[in-house]
Structure 1
Amino acid sequence: MIRFNELRLLVTIAMLLCIATGIYAQHDPQADPHFAKADSMASLYPKHSLNDLKGLSGKLTRPLSSDTEKFRAIYRWVCNNIENDYSFYTKNKKKREKLKHNKEELDAWNESFGPRVFRKLLSDHKTVCTGYAYVVRELARHADIPCEIVNGYGRTAHTNIGGDGIPNHSWNAVELDGLWYLCDATWSSGIIDPGEHKFIKQYSNSYFLPAPSAFGRNHYPLDTAWLLTEQKATLQEFLNAPLIYREALDHQVMPVYPDHFNVDAKKGQPITFRFKSPYVVKKAQLQLVRGSRVSTTMREVYHHDTGLYAVDYVFPYKGTYVLHILMGRDYVFTYTVKVTK
């Protein structure tokens, strides 16, 4: 049974974190050919009671042989059966932003919010990120798979863009075959649509055990040991970097230059955007938003002398633009560009 007092503690971002080992994650667990069986197991127990996590864990994992398969079944079950509660998400987000400079009141809010999250999770299978991370951890531990909750900064189009940042998110680290990986069941399970004011269930593999360097582009832990990388970005570097989306992980493309979200450019002079990809990229679509005007252009991608892929653009007018870079129909990176004479 879920432990009430523990979940209350987990809801507060300031919880104590376990220290990560010095072992770094490998990069291709998604290539495991046996995930079809694990995903099939994950589909067998819809809305199973959360009062018996040990029993659920056994049902999901006993028929599977490897820890990676077992964890995959656990992860997919959580993503399939737990929903991100939109009203809780927005209420908690607004309150934390309002109280971010008042630790005493923020701690009090987290303490009062915890029991509501707990009740909603048990009764309706709805929660916020901490609830997702808790269920993943408990199911994994019942399967004798080491798993931890990681708290920190989640970066989206609506939060943690520049500024001082605010701890607002929780995810998991899991040890498989002696190596640590990162995953985020909340963001894998679907998306929050602010326009429709609802959560849209839409599973994505993007945040299931990706390369730590990619995962860290929009996740920054309070304990930087959980970055699982040799080189660790600072919090300010994280907050001011280009904004990336989960589709960037799907396409395995990462921005390299400019290395910051806010870019300065001169009218009539080309600016080059460089990125890395393990695959051949021939074209990219640029979408430019300036005030109420939106325009798109397809651009040729070429190999830059740095060995990276690159795309050029000349801004014909001064002003401030939001520049989205797309691969196919998918948004992958976003910058803001201030164009002067």
Structure 2
Amino acid sequence: MKYILAFVFYFFLHSLIAQISDFNHIDFNKADNIVKLNEGKDLDNLPLLTFQLTHKLSTDIEKFRAIYTWVCLNIRGDAFQHNLVSRKREKFKNDSLGYIAWNNEFKKSAFKKLLKYKKTMCTGYAYLINEMCFIANIQCKIIDGYARSFETNIEALESFNHSWNAVKLNNKWYLCDATWSSGYMINGSLFVKDYNDGYFLTDPILFAKNHYPLQRKWFLNDSIIERKFTPEPIVYGETFRHKIIPISPKNLNTVITKNHEICFKFKSLSTINNKDISLVRVVGKKHRTFKIYDLKNEDGDISFKHKFEQKGFYDVHLKIKKDIVASYSFEIKKSKILN
């Protein structure tokens, strides 16, 4: 009897890990085509726009797909707001109540600008997704927290700097980030439209690689909820495009001795050929490849090994095809001399 209960508990836990693969049976072409037909529409009548995007779709997942994709493709990132909020976060970094008070006032003008010019930053993206879901009778939440990148929150969670959404579909909660799906900023001044579908209903373990909610329950995974923050390898938008979950080394910074064998492991949620996997070091504009061996690919559980033969400091990057998907830092010391 206890084995049956254990199996049921195991199945229950795993059935709660919500991600896009739950909807492999859904064809999103109809929803995506409706988005194209409504390209460039204004936000002055949000109920009408939401109706136009969803009324021909029969399931909540298709409706949410249309809402999410339309927002990502039709709302631009606002560099001015991005920089202003960044300065205010720095000013109020030791005064959270002061920042909240300022931000509550700022939101009013930010939302007016969003509705008029279709330009915003993360809070606006999350707000718009939430409002349109409410109109479409889809349960949605705005999640506030920390975003981690090669620029911020690298060694510690110091800057409360991001918002995203959780959406409930078929009685399960899913995570998505319309801001990072829509594109990216160059030098904090130029927004580049570049739709990234990898942030749509993302696996919670992958999502947690650079999203840390203030309310830990929104990790949506018990093993992550209980875990303390440690600086893990840096991941990128391309990590989400390729659906890569770095596993080992676990830490961003690693100290080892010369000729110590390092095992790199990651999980791929999509199909990857072994020839597309490499380990590189960036020198100027060139990528110099490290020798890897014992490469294994067992149904997406991928591992390989490398030895650093020279002491020094190395910034090392995992590449899939032409894209860097994870970055690590190694300090290689001389081998210990035993007496």
Contact 2:17 2:203 in 1 (8 A): no
Unaligned runs of 5+ residues in structure 1 are 1-21
What stretches of structure 2 of length at least 5 have no aligned partner?
1-14, 335-339
* Structure-1 residue corresponding to 2:6: none
Secondary structure at 1:43 match in 2: helix
Aligned to 1:265: 256
Correspondences of 1:178-189 after superposition (within 5 Å) = 178-189=171-182
Q: Whole-Å Cα distance in 2 between the matches of residues 316 and 153 of structure 1?
A: 37
Contact 2:205 2:245 in 1 (8 A): no
Query: Matched residues in 2 for 1:40 and 1:294: separation?
Result: 40
Partner of 2:278: 285
Kept in 1: contact 2:182–2:194 (CA 8 A): yes
1:244 and 2:214 equivalent? no
Under a length normalisation based on structure 1, what TM-score does the superposition of the two structures give?
A: 0.84
Task: Mark the structure with the bigger radius of gyration.
Answer: 2
Verify: 1:92 aligned to 2:85, yes or no: yes
Q: Report sequence identity in percent.
A: 38
In structure 1, what is the Cα distance between the partners aligned to 2:315 and 2:23? 33
Counterpart of 2:36 in structure 1 is 43
Deviation string, structure 1 residues 201-234 (Cα, Å, up to 9, x no partner): 0111101112112112111111111111131255
Which of 265, 276, 280 aligns to 2:267? It is 276
Counterpart check, 1:58 vs 2:59: no
Structure 1 residues 231 and 254: CA distance shift in structure 2, 3 A? same
Aligned equivalents of 2:272, 2:42: Cα separation in 1: 46
**Aligned residue among 296, 308, 318 for 1:303:** 296
Do the aligned partners of residues 64 and 29 (structure 1) sit closer, same or farther apart at CA in structure 2, a change above 3 Å counting?
same
Matched residue SS, 1:148:
strand
Q: TM-score, normalised by structure 2?
A: 0.84
Among 312, 326, 329, the residue aligned to 1:319? 312
Q: Which residue of 2 aligns with 1:129?
A: 122
Superposition deviation, residue 295 in structure 1:
4.5
Q: Is contact 1:263-1:338 (8 Å) kept?
A: yes
1:7 counterpart residue number: none
Distance 1:79 1:301 in 2: 41
Residues 1-341 of structure 1 aligned to structure 2 (within 5 Å): 24-29=17-22, 31-194=24-187, 197-233=189-225, 236-237=228-229, 239-277=230-268, 279=271, 281-283=273-275, 284-289=277-282, 295-297=287-289, 299-300=292-293, 302-303=295-296, 308-341=301-334
Distance in 1 (CA, whole Å) between partners of 2:297 and 2:32 is: 41
**In 2, distance between residues paired with 1:210 and 1:59?**
26
Distance in 1 of aligned mates of 2:311 and 2:109: 49
2 CA distance for matches of 1:327 and 1:202? Answer: 19
SS of the counterpart of 2:324? strand
**Contact in 2 for aligned 1:285/1:296 (Cα 8 Å):** no
In the alignment, residue 220 of structure 2 is paired with which amino acid?
L
Structure number with the bigger relative contact order (C-alpha 8 A, sep ≥ 6) is: 1
CA offsets 1:298-329 (integer angstroms, 9 cap, x no match):
64561399x94223233343332221110001
1:128, distance to aligned residue in structure 2 (A): 0.6
1:271 CA displacement: 2.1
Alpha-carbon distance in structure 1 between the residues aligned to 2:49 and 2:209? 33
